[in-house]
Structure 1
Amino acid sequence: MKNYKKIKLNYLSLLLIVFLFSCGNNNVQKLKTNGVKKEKKLSSLNNKRRLLDLTKIEFENKLINLGEVIEGDTILKARYIFKNVGVNPLLIEYVNPDCSCTDYNFTKEIVKVQEKGFIDLEFDIKNKIGNQKLYAIVKSNTSASFHKLILKVNILELN
C-alpha cells in the first residue's frame, strides 16, 4: 500500500512539473538590447503581417434590397462600396456570410486614406422562395472591429 501511495505521489509530482513548464507564455519573446533584457509580445497575426493602426470605415450602404426576382438557377450579385475615412490605412481581414449559399469577394489590398474599396456578395437563389435576408460580417482594423452587411430579396415562385 505504501508503494502505491509513493508511485501516485511521484506521478502527481511529475504531472505538476510538466504542467508548470508547459504553461509558460509562448507569446513573449525575450530580447537583449545593450545588455538589458526586454520582453516583446508576439501574436500570430503579427507573425503573418504587420499590424495596422485603427482607422474608420464608411459604407455607402450597409443594406441592399434587390426587390423581387423570379425563382430559378440564378446568382444575385450585390456590391457594397466603402471608403476609408480614417487617418490610417484600412485592411478588410475577412468577410463571413451567414449562409453557404453566399459567395463573396472583397478588396484584399490595403485601402489608403480617402480611397474606396468593395465587398461583393453573390447569393445563389436555387431552391429558395419568399423573403430572404442574408447577413455578412466584415472584420477590419477599425475601432468597431465588425460590421454587418445585409442583403434582402423576395424570390417569387415561377407560375
Structure 2
Amino acid sequence: MVYMKKISTILFSITFISCSLIACKDNADQNKREEKLAYVEKDTANYTLIKYIDSVKNFGTVKKGTQVKLKYTFQNVGVNPLYVINVQPSCGCTVADFTKGAILPGKIGEINASFDSNHGSTGSVRKSLIVTTNTTNDPNFVLAFIGNVN
C-alpha cells in the first residue's frame, strides 16, 4: 500500500512538472509571437496590401446548438510579407483562428471562425470579426456573418 502511494506521488509529480514545462514553453512561444507582431505593427515602412476574397458569410438557418464553421480567405497583393496581428470576434459566442506566419506576396491566408449558436436567443444573427493586419489598406477590416437560429 505504501509502495503504491509512493508511485502515485512520483507519477503525479512527473505529470505536474511536465505540464508546467509545456505551459511555460507555450507562454514563451506566445510571448515571442506577441513581441514580433508588436514590431511588425510599428514597422509601417514594410506594410503591404490585402485583398479579401470573401468578407461576408451567410450560414443560412441552423438549429440552436449547432456549431457553425466559417472560413474567410484573403490574398497578399502587396510586395512585403503580410501578417495577421489579431482577429477579435464581436462576442464570446465566436472563436477565431488565423494564419499565424508570414503570408508572402501573392499567397493566400485564411481566417477560420466557429460560432456557437447555443449562446444567445433564436432568430436573426449578425456578428463580426475585426481583423488587424500590417496593411496600408484596411488595417482593421471587419468581416461579418449572418444567419438564423431556430
TM-score, normalisation: structure 1: 0.65
Residue in 1 that maps onto 2:148: 154
Q: How do 1:71-90 and structure 2 match up within 5 A?
A: 71=64, 73-90=65-82
Q: State the number of aligned residues.
A: 109
TM-score, normalisation: structure 2: 0.69
Residue 118 (str. 1) matches residue 110 (str. 2): yes
Opposite residue 154 of structure 1, the aligned amino acid is N
- CA offset at residue 74 of structure 1? 1.6
RMSD: 1.5
SS in structure 2 at match of 1:111: coil
- CA offset at residue 126 of structure 1? 0.5
Q: How do 1:30-45 and structure 2 match up within 5 A?
A: none
Opposite residue 116 of structure 1, the aligned amino acid is I
Structure 1: tracts of 5 or more residues without a match: 1-46
The match for 1:106 among 95, 98, 107 is 98
Q: Distance in 2 between matches of 1:121 and 1:152?
A: 13
Give the number of the structure whose residues are more often strand, by fraction.
Answer: 1
Residue in 2 that maps onto 1:48: 35
- CA offset at residue 145 of structure 1? 1.5
Q: Distance in 2 between matches of 1:64 and 1:94?
A: 20
Opposite residue 148 of structure 2, the aligned amino acid is N
Q: Distance in 2 between matches of 1:90 and 1:120?
A: 17
Structure 2: tracts of 5 or more residues without a match: 1-33
Give the number of the structure whose residues are more often helix, by fraction.
Answer: 2
Larger Rg: 1
Residue in 2 that maps onto 1:34: none
